[in-house]
């Protein structure tokens, strides 16, 4: 068993088949954690909970009542809460001047207000200390065209993570973010359908490859372990991408237009 054996872990954003939340949940279960998975769709959550020997609950991160019910259900089922991971997100790609008030309202609900309220509920429930992990993005630090609303809210909640770490460290609560780059998950399926587009991104990674959900799960496992003496940080789990850059939209368009981006 691993260093999180016996810990109670809740993972929000685990209702999509093989998405990052599901990969994280499976990894923690393999290491002996007791896992509560949550999201907006019952069928995949139930299947995942059965697979990992855990439990599931419906939770829309934009609904405070859902968040409260999820944390209450976790504590009722397992007796406590040790690790809370938010893997939700809304990958809007839209030009800055075309982004509407409705876009901003929804983005804020999913990526700022919801995570803020999730952390509030989690802090109240972590009576014996614990680890809070927010899945952020390299784009909260470096640029990607047509992604301002996503990037801004990710950067904002990263700073809230630092606030939580500062205020509640004396209670033994650690709070950190993990920032992947482009990652081979269902959320990025359209990009990974184009080998040429993947290569365009890959060449900006000093370690020579783009990331996987397993890379993120590995980092989350360490942040959740008792051996981790880190709080208030944003771990750039992206192979060094933030030392360089993401491609510009003009470069992406050129790759897709020259016919080399055919689906694999």
Q: Are the beta carbons of 7 and 33 closer than 8 angstroms?
A: yes
- Residue of 56, 90, 106, 150 marked active site: 150
What is d(CA 40, CA 207) in angstroms, rounded to the nearest whole number?
Answer: 35
CA distance 253 to 249: 6
Q: Determine whether 205 is an active site residue.
A: no
DSSP for the chain, written as a single string: --TTTT-EEEEES--STT-HHHHHHHHHHHTT-EEEEEES-HHHHHHHHHHHT-EEEE--TT-HHHHHHHHHHHHHHHS---EEEE---------GGG--HHHHHHHHIIIIIHHHHHHHHHHHH-BTBEEEEEE--GGGTS--TT-HHHHHHHHHHHHHHHHHHHHHGGGTEEEEEE---SBSSGGGHHHHT-HHHHHHHHTT-TTSS-B-HHHHHHHHHHHHSTT----S-EE--STTGGGS-PPPHHHHHHHHHTTTT---
Q: Which residues pair with 133 in a beta bridge?
A: 85, 176
CB 125 within 8 A of CB 168: no
Catalytically annotated residues: 150
């Amino acid at each position: 068993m691993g260093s999180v054996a016996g810990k109670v872990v809740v993972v929000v954003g685990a209702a999509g088949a093989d998405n990052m939340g599901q990969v994280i949940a499976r990894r923690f279960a393999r290491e002996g954690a007791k896992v509560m998975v949550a999201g907006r769709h019952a069928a995949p959550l139930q299947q995942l909970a059965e697979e990992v020997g855990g439990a599931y609950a419906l939770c829309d991160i934009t609904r405070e009542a859902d968040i409260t019910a999820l944390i209450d259900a976790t504590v009722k089922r397992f007796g406590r809460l040790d690790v809370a991971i938010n893997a939700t997100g809304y990958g809007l790609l839209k030009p800055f001047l075309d982004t509407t008030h409705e876009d901003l309202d929804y983005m804020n609900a999913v990526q700022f207000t919801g995570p803020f309220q999730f952390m509030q509920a989690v802090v109240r429930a972590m009576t014996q200390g614990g680890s809070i992990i927010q899945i952020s993005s390299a784009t909260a630090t470096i640029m990607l065209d047509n992604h301002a609303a996503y990037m801004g809210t990710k950067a904002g909640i990263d700073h809230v993570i630092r606030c939580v770490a500062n205020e509640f460290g004396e209670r033994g609560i650690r709070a950190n973010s993990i920032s992947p780059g482009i990652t081979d998950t269902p959320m990025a399926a359209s990009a990974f359908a184009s080998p040429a587009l993947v290569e365009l991104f890959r060449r900006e990674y000093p370690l020579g490859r783009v990331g996987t959900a397993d890379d993120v799960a590995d980092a989350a496992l360490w942040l959740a372990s008792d051996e981790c003496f880190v709080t208030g940080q944003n771990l750039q789990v992206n192979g060094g991408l933030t030392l360089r850059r993401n491609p510009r939209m003009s470069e992406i368009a050129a790759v897709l237009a020259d016919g080399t981006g055919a689906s694999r």
